[in-house]
Chain A
Amino acid sequence: MAGDRHAFPPASRRVRFGEMSDSDASSSGGLASGPGGLGDGELVGLAAAGRRDAFEELVRRHADQLYAVILRLTGDAGEAEEVVQEAFLRAWRGIDRFERRAQFFTWLYRIGLNEAKRRAGRRPASEPLSVEDGALAQTADFSHAPERRAEQHALRVVLERAVRDLPAGYRAPLILRDVEGLSTEQAAEIMGLKEAAFKSRLHRARLKVRDAMDAYLADDAR
């Protein structure tokens, strides 16, 4: 199944069913062995047959990564969480219509991106995206090689801002491809674009963010 060939996120990051707490296990029907070791495609099949523990496993595998993507798009932690919740609910409701030739997570991300877009369309044009630098940021620790790490942190802030300032249609390709590391094929599929169109947007986005990085580095060198 394609979902297994391009397992994403990496298998090492997956939460295994056996690692769940007792309350998790009981909410999954108290099965002796869970679906944690199965591929996404198999889980989708089980979920479509009504196995809630299989869908729970899909949520555990993909919710945080989808949240990270949506948060970068919306800039609002509360909104991103709502989008993720809604994306999964819609996925559950529509799982029997999921086309198995696609990967589950690309289908899910597409639902999430569409939901984020729909909500953005309802937001008054004058309302700026809120900026939540801390929502995904790691705690800055400059205790080792402090100068180098401080520089790296400053560059990271510049890049975060440059990504956030991109128009949404350019921000999403850059986030999916360059930040999240999806393949061009996967990212284009999520955005519903042909690969050539996707690449064109990605290239423009990279040039814009590169300009911001160059300007920062030139300032820093002075």
Chain B
Amino acid sequence: MSAYLDGELGAEERRRLERHSDLCPECGPMLRTLVRLTHELRDLRRRPERSVAPGVIERWMETERTFPGGAARDGW
């Protein structure tokens, strides 16, 4: 079932699992809810409203000015 969700089955294997799930009272509901779950989870994907990149660049440049050449290798 995981291989099905992850797109790792060939066409024939997918059809076999789908046919089985149409008839099996255990596998059918499980497959359907897992398929729905993976779709819903993908919809959770978000980006921050404000990009963090400028702050990262500023901090990186500041650290490079203060410790040029890697003084922060042991943590900063």
> Which residues in A have some Cβ–Cβ distance to B below 8 Å?
15, 27, 52, 55-56, 59-60, 63-65, 67-68, 71, 81, 84-86, 88-89, 92-93, 135-138, 155-156, 159-160, 163, 174, 177-181, 184, 199, 202-203, 206, 209-210, 213-214
Return A164 CB to nearest CB of chain B, in Å: 11
User: Which residue on A lies nearest to B45, using beta carbons?
Assistant: A179
* Contact between A93 and B41, CB atoms less than 8 A apart: no
Q: A93-B73, A163-B41 are in contact. List 18 more A-B contacts (CB 8 A).
A: A27-B61, A59-B53, A59-B57, A63-B52, A63-B53, A68-B48, A92-B60, A135-B48, A136-B47, A156-B43, A159-B37, A177-B6, A178-B37, A179-B45, A184-B8, A199-B2, A209-B41, A210-B34
Residues of A within 8 Å of B38, CB to CB, are 178, 206
Partner of B37, one of A55, A85, A209: A209
Known: A93-B72, A184-B6. A155 touches B40 (CB 8 A): yes
* Contact between A163 and B44, CB atoms less than 8 A apart: yes
Residues of A within 8 Å of B40, CB to CB, are 155-156, 159, 213
Partner of A85, one of B42, B47, B51, B59: B59
Return A65 CB to nearest CB of chain B, in Å: 7
Instruction: Mark out the residues of chain B between 4 and 37 whose CB falls within 8 Å of any chain A CB in the assembled complex.
Output: 5-6, 8, 33-34, 36-37
Count of inter-chain pairs, beta carbons less than 8 A: 102
User: Which residue on B lies nearest to A118, using beta carbons?
Assistant: B75
Return A91 CB to nearest CB of chain B, in Å: 10
Residues of A within 8 Å of B63, CB to CB, are 89
| Docked complex Cα distance between A27 and B52 (Å) | 17
Residues of A within 8 Å of B57, CB to CB, are 27, 56, 59-60
Residues of B within 8 Å of A209, CB to CB, are 37, 41
User: Which residue on B lies nearest to A155, using beta carbons?
Assistant: B40
Residues of A within 8 Å of B76, CB to CB, are 86, 89
* Contact between A68 and B45, CB atoms less than 8 A apart: yes
Residues of B within 8 Å of A206, CB to CB, are 2, 5, 34, 37-38
| Docked complex Cα distance between A86 and B46 (Å) | 22
* Contact between B47 and A65, CB atoms less than 8 A apart: yes
